[in-house]
Amino acid sequence: MTWSSRRLPVTVAVLAAVILSGCSGIPQSGAPRIGQPVEGAGDPEVQFIANSPEAGASQEEILRGFIDAASSPREDYATAREYLAPDIRSSWDPDFNVIVDEPGVRSYRAMDERSMELTVRPVAEVNAQGEYTEFAAQTSLTQGYVFTKVKDEWRISVAPDRVILDSQRFNDVFSSYPVTFFDPSWTYLVPDLRWFPSRTSTGTRIVKALLDGPGPLLDGAVRTAFPEGTALTKNSVPVVGDVAQVDLSGEAFQANEDTLQRMKAQLDASLTGVSAINSVSITVNNSTETIPDLTLPSPRVDPRALVLTADGFGFLSGGDSIEPLPGISDQVEALQPTAVIVSPSHDLAAARTTAGVFAVRSSSDEPLRVDSRPGLIAPALDGFGHIWTVPATAPATLMVSRGDGSQSPVVTSWPEASSILSLAVSRDGTRVLALVKVGDESRLLAAGIQRDQDYVPVSLGDPQALAVGTGSAITTTWVDDVTIATLTTGADGSTDVVHQVIGGQSEILQGPDGAVSLVGGTGLRQLRAIVDGGNLTVLRTSAWQVIGSGVVLIATQLGTPG
């Protein structure tokens, strides 16, 4: 069957009027830029209008139109359903699966008089829970469609439960939402990104995802305030004015005040990106609960670089001057370390030297060696004060050290790894990044941290593979609570920084020439690298700028005091 010169029966047009809303998406491409704020305006929310089928359309025109019409989720994909036969019009489930494909490579092929195949090249998918997965290798996907005549017009009688969007249109139609849980100590909120199209049911899907619990990465690593069995009594979250009304089943009725506050905090954070919602009201079996807001800290880091130079160890400020950390800096300087990480309270540091990894405490005059094994990589540290150490050539022998120097093993989840290059714990203490090698192949893995009742790490959950780029990976670091950056080098000596949203998309940024290390701050504008010769560079807009010289190392910060 050949493609007719007649225009497509369905065209998708961007609304001439851009609807301003509070919808928050994560920028996925291009260099970070800061523009002037527009008073009273949120992020623009793009909507598409799809045309209905034309009379006399061919099977291929109907199929192309159906695929295009699924770009419009308005009224539960009402226009796309017009291309379906009555028998499947209501049962077709567009929320079951979304395929994000490479633009411009779709092919349509007639199989017989009543069926066609569509072949696409997927780059990612979103499942029914809104979980986004990027594909490292691109392979073709072929799916079949069957047609029938309805009132002498072709309609689709068999179609897979999915929507197909090219990568650009996906970013216009879908947004990421932080379905939010607590860390094990109920101190920090931890986002579990989900992707949903913007429509009236978005708030309902977010709340249902929250009540269903975390995805595979965070399973067992986070906590939820919602009692087991809690559900929506109305199976929907109506929005009255700009208030989302969440009516919960009786299990929530037994919750005490602290639990209710935590439930509301999770709901507030999870629904914050929905354009029509500015606040949340919780009712339990139609009884409204008055719940005060819960103030929670955010694990941000000091915007100043924490460095070791010939002048000492401390914060770089006022040019090349060093502001020392009381009780910490003198000990770190004496160790002559090759890597340092500092706790949020700035009273504990873990330092790697040629003699092993040492714990440096402001309350002690002498560093304590916690691991003397040879070949240790740069240590990691979590907010509970545990120091993580592992030799490069023995990635399965991960250990954590407590305040008294005692050690215990952590069961890893990368049995196929032959070596490990980098290890980093998230600032909320729920996830670990591991840059490992399997033979000659670099792999970047994220895994949830399982802890005992004293918050001591005991094992890691099933790993999630993340983007690592095409170069040779050197190190990885946390940028914030949901994004990471990995430094890679090419065969020609050039460097790239792979910027990855966990549960989202990745992009490649140009790295600074000769970079040998990379440390995150709070956001991309605080991403710093040391280059050959000791110059300290920072990412500014689309370029790396030198902000210091004579730097021996830049330390990783887990946060700020208080």
With a pLDDT cut of 90, the percent of the chain lying above it is 75
Q: How far apart are CA 468 and CA 485, in angstroms?
A: 9
At residue 104, does pLDDT exceed 60?
Answer: yes
Q: What is the pLDDT of residue 22?
A: 34
Provide the phi-psi class of 257: left if phi over 0, else alpha when psi is between -120 and 50, else beta.
alpha
Long-range pairs, 384-392, Cβ under 8 A, ≥24: 384/185, 384/429, 384/451, 384/455, 384/456, 385/343, 385/348, 386/455, 386/456, 386/457, 387/350, 387/357, 387/359, 388/423, 388/425, 388/432, 388/457, 389/357, 390/420, 390/423, 392/419, 392/420, 392/421
Mean pLDDT (whole number) for 297-304: 87
**Maximum separation of any 2 CA atoms in the chain, in Å:** 88
At residue 2, does pLDDT exceed 50?
Answer: no
Q: Give 383's Cβ-side CA count (13 Å radius).
A: 25
Question: By the 8 A CB rule, do 396 and 410 touch?
Answer: no
> Domain map of the chain by residue range?
12-172, 174-288, 306-557
At residue 559, does pLDDT exceed 90?
Answer: no
pLDDT bucket at 542, cuts 50 / 70 / 90:
confident
Q: How far apart are CA 538 and CA 488, in angstroms?
A: 16
pTM of the shown model: 0.87
Q: How far apart are CA 542 and CA 163, in angstroms?
A: 34
Q: What is the pLDDT of residue 523?
A: 87
Q: How far apart are CA 23 and CA 87, in angstroms?
A: 35
Q: What is the pLDDT of residue 47?
A: 66
At residue 36, does pLDDT exceed 90?
Answer: no
Q: What is the pLDDT of residue 546?
A: 93
Mean pLDDT (whole number) for 241-264: 89
Mean pLDDT (whole number) for 45-60: 85
Q: How far apart are CA 41 and CA 26, in angstroms?
A: 17
SS3 state of residue 258: helix
Strands (E), 58-203: 97-101, 107-112, 115-120, 122-127, 132-134, 141-150, 153-158, 163-166, 174-182, 189-197
At residue 1, does pLDDT exceed 70?
Answer: no
At residue 64, does pLDDT exceed 50?
Answer: yes
Question: By the 8 A CB rule, do 192 and 159 touch?
Answer: no
At residue 491, does pLDDT exceed 50?
Answer: yes
Q: To 10 degrees, the CA torsion angle through 25, 206, 219, 130? A: -60
Pairing state of beta strands 483-489 and 495-501? antiparallel
pLDDT bucket at 46, cuts 50 / 70 / 90:
low
pLDDT bucket at 25, cuts 50 / 70 / 90:
very low
For the chain, the average pLDDT equals 89
Of residues 259 and 9, more confidently modeled:
259
The single-letter code of the amino acid at 486 is T
pLDDT digits (tens, 9 = 90+) for 134-190: 987 778 999 999 999 999 999 999 999 999 999 989 999 999 999 999 999 999 999
Name the residue with tokens 């906590």.
223
At residue 437, does pLDDT exceed 60?
Answer: yes
Of residues 110 and 253, more confidently modeled:
110
Beta partners for residue 465, in sequence order: 445
Q: How far apart are CA 45 and CA 65, in angstroms?
A: 23
Mean pLDDT (whole number) for 19-23: 32
Mean pLDDT (whole number) for 370-383: 97
CATH code that applies to domain 12-172? 3.10.450
Q: What is the pLDDT of residue 14?
A: 36
Superfamily of structural domain 306-557: TolB, C-terminal domain (2.120.10.30)
The DSSP output letter for 252 is: G
Mean pLDDT (whole number) for 210-229: 96
Mean pLDDT (whole number) for 403-431: 96
Of residues 176 and 525, more confidently modeled:
176
Tokens at residue 20, please? 């301003």
pLDDT bucket at 524, cuts 50 / 70 / 90:
confident
Q: How far apart are CA 218 and CA 509, in angstroms?
A: 28
